[in-house]
Amino acid sequence: MVKMFASEEIFKGCQHAVQLHRGNGIMLDFRIEKLLRDASLFLHRDATFDISRFKIVRAMFPQTAGVYSGPE
């Protein structure tokens, strides 16, 4: 859960930095676009974002979360 939260916050911070710098934020000279690309990789490191979120919910609520997901 901590990894997913940190990945989301890093990505949001990089998005704000790109928006703050406007057109310069996506230019290669400013290196902000590299931070955004690297931050987007953290979201998909182990699994896709939705699958990670589903695994967390399933671990927190094992009796009810698996009802709609079917067998493993």
Q: Cα dist. 15→39, 53, 58 in Å?
A: 9, 21, 30
Give 23-70 pLDDT, tens digit per residue: 888 888 888 889 888 988 888 877 777 788 888 888 888 777 666 655
In 3-state terms the chain splits into helix, strand, coil percentages (rounded to 5) of 80, 0, 20
Q: What is the pTM of this model?
A: 0.70
- Helix (H/G/I), strand (E/B), else coil: 45: coil
Indicate the residue type of 2: V
How many Å apart are CA 24 and CA 9, to the nearest integer? Answer: 22
| Residue 12 confidence (pLDDT) above 90 | yes
